[in-house]
A and B are shown apart, each in its own frame.
Chain A
Amino acid sequence: MDDLRRSRLTVFFRLLLTIPHLIWLELWGVLVFVVAIPNWLIALVIGRPAKPFQRFNAAFLRYSTTVFSYLLLVANPFPGFTGEPGSYPIELEVPLTPEKQNRLKTFFRLLLVYPALLVAGVLMYVAYAVTFLGWWAAMVTGRMPRGFRDLSANSIRYIEQGYAYLFLVTGSYPSASPYVGMVLGTPVVAETKTAVEVPPAAVEAPAAAEEPPAPEAPEAPSEK
């Protein structure tokens, strides 16, 4: 599990180090918006999103989760650019295959998601404020306080689940319960990339899983 240690060097330059990711995320995001309308029409006709769009959008949401986890100091390693499952210690659980979705809910998706996105907007500001404080803490102690990490992680989770609902990746509404639909996994580093320990079942679980993973014990052993 994440040992909460943070490299002071990368924390100091975290915002700048994330710029290439933010640009890539922006470009990818434009494409996600472009495919949103045909995907919505397909979902209305056949009752579930198209498989290629599902994979594309799910990868985008996983990638977005890793980028914001890195930016907001929720995780330490520099993320990859592909949103590959199991490639990062913080992972959003999204279905890899399209789910059957209620056509009526699909038709009104933009209206239904609105309250969730409002909450997501507030949570984003909360996460920024927490990151500002966490940045100082990490610079001084070399560790991210667990409470700050968890608050930001859950904010990111809720926001990404909101977008997963908007882009029809899942038919489940964003969950207000902490840790539901997110994996706080093993730190993944370049040298040990093949030894990722994210359970496939957890990755493939629907966004609103029935049983949330237990919160980490405070004295989690260091794996670095």
Chain B
Amino acid sequence: MMFKCKEKFVPAKPVEAPADLPADLFEAAEQNSSDLEYIARKHHSALYDGWIRLRKNKAAVICAVILIVITLFAIFAPILSQYTYFDTNYKAKLKPPSIEHPFGTDQFGRDQWTRIWYGTRISLLIGLVAALLNLFIGVIYGAVSAMIGGRVDAIMQRIIEILVGVPHLIIVILFMMILPPGVGTIVIAMSITGWVNMARLVRAQILKLKNQEFVMAAKLLGTSGWKMIMKHLVPNTVSVIVIQIMFAIPSAIFTEAFLSFIGVGLAAPKASLGVLINDGYKMLRAAPYMLIYPALAIILIMVCFSILGDGLRDALDPRMKH
């Protein structure tokens, strides 16, 4: 709470007026109760506050810029390229990087520049969609569990306790075996157990908030249930969700790459970074550049997400340690 104190300040003990200033020159200032609540500075949301802190973290900002540039390339490079990701050209197969083919061509003469950016696009898309799906299921599950409480919460938590024991990657592989290969399948398979962490975090955060003074005060003042959720619980949970998403995206990209690498992910001629790394690995002796460029691309993306995620965590949740 901020006071507009200079003019309105009323001392507890009336000060004796100096002899040369007659008391009748003064008059008591009017006290307006609404002025006491006046907030001099503009209100910042928690996210804006976090942004201010994040801006100071140079490494995180650089990584954010790199990720934006990569995303733009992933969107536009395949469109602007004169080649497509699936067109084969047997006259130009296994060409090392040159001006015409900056990243070379593969064993079918497909342009690696186009394929790598197209693969990056698919990988980013899978990461984003999987993270959003986890967010959707996890937030609803966690919030319902925490808000209703009691027996419902107990049952929902037992279900989670059973699911956390499931090794994520193994189950995803099993599901990929029975489902037809494709982007949607991968996202669905990854979401079967992927949302559990998000649900746990959201539930823990809401439970923590529910017991805090400002929520009790709001309840005491008669805030309705819906307003309580939208005004007090959601804004204070957003930072936890954002941080979790920043770690869920690279994790989904990794899982997809892993699946494609062991051969249960996307099928040719579709490309993702995992497919490209797998192709490159098979051609390692003949055309090492086929492995190195997609490997660099995935490493760059993962490192940037990692640094940006750490930065966001420090910025949005300063109380949390490392």
Do A and B associate with each other? no
Binding site for A on B (CB under 8 A): none
Binding site for B on A (CB under 8 A): none
